[in-house]
């Protein structure tokens, strides 16, 4: 028999029992829908994380530390500091790292807590010093509002959208503002933690934020208070050994929103140029390295950020830095581990959909076995007029494959609809937290083709027993069947 005749006959047989065939196909649709939605979630997470790391150049960057650190300890938070192995990371060390072939950028990490007074609003956050040369690198090449620093001594500051939400402000697109002392600072006070609820956020135009002056408040040691605390004891001292210092800076930009997947280490908090940060009074140490380092390491940095030209340069630069006696932490070291974990996650998610599809295959077997009992006389007639066992098997295989194709196609549609709905709900809960919209699901071409092929394969396997049973029907007994 020609394939066209087989296909037409199969469709007629399925249409004749359309209710039962539809319910059987629906089982395959649900199985494929579950499989697609589960696997697309795993591939979506992998795509977001990988692209987030790549766009943030995390695969071409590393952090140099005063001592060797195991990245697994860093991820778990269990960091042990080896005695006598801490090497100072001073300006000479930074210059030596910059001179290594393959290094594009190297600068010390300077980060300390501050309180930002934004008109009548204020919030506590962390301040990070960034050199102006980072204007040519992500994520600073694509600031949504304003500009990056033009030089390292510019008295300016770049705010994060998370900080603005903490003071009860959200940037409103398309609104015209009054600028200057406009509405950004009006409408009541909000301290850290306030304004988190969507109803409490005040939408303001971006030009009422850019160009405004903010006050950066830091804590420094007070000599008189410290002396009194040392001589009289903390419980009896009238003055605290700390006092506040204030520096006024101008807002020139707003950072991109956090995506939650491999976002840049520099996003969040507030950013100022390195020269300006040096002039901001603060405590003498900001990290465990500075606090626990030897006394002759004064002026050393807690870490140094290094960016290389390509991922191929990462290993050679790493070896050169380690030969200098420093520790290196690089996300690229865990790339293979990430891939392994994603494969495991995809396998677990795919197993859920496979179970649903296997259950659907039982429905295919039931439907086709029932069809054999109903069409016994028809099978006998086909054999009596010259139909071979192979022709009978082909008819049932084509019917099973048709159920698989229909189930695969509509299952893909169901999976896509489910992922779109789930994505809307997920972003609805993430948006109030200050995160940019993220597509958590990704359906690549291999998943589309694989889902249909898998549905057909499972359907054909389910049709093996009914096809073999139909081919073995005795034509004499079949013709007597009523």
Give the pLDDT confidence score for residue 115 in this predicted structure. Answer: 92
Q: Which residue has the tokens 């950028």?
A: 105
245 in Cβ contact with 220 (< 8 Å): yes
Helix, strand, coil shares of the chain as percentages rounded to 5?
Answer: 55, 15, 30
Q: Where are the domains of the chain?
A: 3-53+338-480, 118-267
Helix, coil or strand: residue 385: coil
Q: Characterize the bridge pairing of strands 103-108 and 213-221.
A: unpaired
The residue among 267, 312, 262 whose CA lies nearest residue 55 is 262
Name residues of the chain where pLDDT drops below 70. 1, 3, 52-58, 68-86, 173-199, 221-241, 258-265, 284-299, 332-336, 373-374, 432-436, 475-482
What is the C-alpha separation between 89 and 326, in angstroms, rounded?
9
Quick count: other Cβ atoms within 10 Å of Cβ 201? 18
Residues in CB range of 392: below 8 A, 6 or more apart? 379, 382, 383, 467, 470, 471, 473
Q: Which residues pair with 245 in a beta bridge?
A: 218
- H/E run at residue 159: strand 156-159
332 in Cβ contact with 71 (< 8 Å): no
Phi, psi at 65, each rounded to 5°:
-120, 160
Q: Characterize the bridge pairing of strands 156-159 and 270-273.
A: antiparallel
Give the pLDDT confidence score for residue 210 in this predicted structure. Answer: 92
What is the C-alpha separation between 270 and 195, in angstroms, rounded?
18
Q: How many helices (H) and strands (E) does the chain have?
A: 14, 13
Give the pLDDT confidence score for residue 42 in this predicted structure. Answer: 84
Q: What is the pTM of this model?
A: 0.59
Q: What is the pLDDT of residues 273-332, one digit of tens each?
A: 999 998 888 875 554 444 444 444 445 788 898 988 887 888 888 889 888 888 888 776
Q: What is the dihedral of CA 123, 126, 131, 132, to 10 degrees?
A: -20
83 in Cβ contact with 284 (< 8 Å): no
Tell me the Ramachandran region of residue 361: left when phi exceeds 0, alpha when psi lies from -120 to 50, beta otherwise: alpha
Give the pLDDT confidence score for residue 69 in this predicted structure. Answer: 61
- H/E run at residue 175: none
């Amino acid at each position: 028999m020609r394939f066209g005749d087989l296909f037409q006959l199969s469709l007629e047989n399925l249409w004749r029992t359309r209710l039962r065939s539809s319910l059987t196909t629906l089982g395959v649709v649900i199985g494929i829908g579950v499989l697609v939605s589960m696997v697309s979630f795993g591939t979506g997470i992998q795509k977001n994380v990988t692209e987030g790391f790549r766009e943030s150049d995390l695969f071409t960057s590393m952090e140099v530390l005063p001592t060797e650190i195991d990245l697994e300890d860093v991820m778990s938070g269990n960091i042990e500091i080896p005695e006598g192995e801490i090497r100072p990371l001073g300006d000479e060390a930074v210059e030596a790292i910059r001179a290594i072939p393959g290094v594009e950028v190297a600068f010390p990490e300077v980060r300390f807590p501050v309180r930002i007074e934004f008109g009548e609003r204020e919030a506590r956050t962390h301040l990070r010093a960034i050199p102006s040369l980072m204007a040519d690198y992500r994520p600073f090449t694509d600031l949504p509002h304003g500009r990056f620093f033009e030089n390292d001594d510019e008295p300016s500051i770049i705010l994060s959208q998370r900080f603005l939400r903490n003071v009860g402000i959200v940037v409103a697109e398309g609104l015209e503002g009054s600028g200057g002392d406009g509405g950004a600072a009006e409408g009541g006070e909000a301290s850290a933690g306030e304004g988190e609820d969507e109803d409490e956020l005040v939408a303001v135009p971006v030009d009422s934020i850019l160009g405004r002056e903010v006050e950066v408040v830091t804590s420094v040691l007070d000599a008189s208070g410290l002396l009194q605390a040392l001589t009289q004891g903390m419980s009896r001292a009238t003055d605290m050994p700390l006092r506040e210092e204030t520096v006024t800076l101008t807002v020139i930009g707003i950072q991109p929103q956090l995506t939650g997947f491999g976002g840049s280490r520099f996003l969040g908090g507030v950013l100022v140029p390195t020269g300006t940060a040096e002039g901001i009074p603060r405590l003498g140490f900001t990290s465990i390295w500075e606090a626990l380092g030897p006394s002759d390491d004064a002026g050393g940095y807690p870490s140094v950020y290094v960016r290389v030209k390509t991922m191929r340069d990462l290993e050679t630069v790493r070896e050169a830095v380690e030969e200098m006696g420093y520790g290196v932490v690089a996300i690229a070291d865990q790339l293979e581990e990430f891939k392994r974990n994603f494969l495991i996650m995809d396998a677990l998610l795919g197993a859920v959909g496979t179970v649903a599809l296997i259950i659907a295959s039982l429905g295919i077997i039931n439907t086709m076995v029932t069809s054999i009992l109903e069409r016994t006389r028809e099978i006998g007639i086909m054999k009596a007029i010259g139909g071979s066992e192979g022709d009978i098997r082909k008819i049932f295989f084509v019917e099973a494959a048709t159920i698989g194709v229909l189930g695969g196609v509509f299952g893909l549609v169901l999976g896509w609809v489910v992922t779109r709905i789930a994505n809307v709900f997920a972003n609805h809960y993430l948006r109030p937290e200050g995160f940019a919209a993220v597509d958590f699901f990704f359906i690549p071409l291999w998943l589309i083709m694989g889902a249909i092929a898998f549905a057909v394969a499972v359907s054909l396997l389910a049709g093996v027993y009914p096809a073999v049973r139909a081919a073995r029907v005795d034509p004499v007994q079949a013709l007597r069947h009523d």
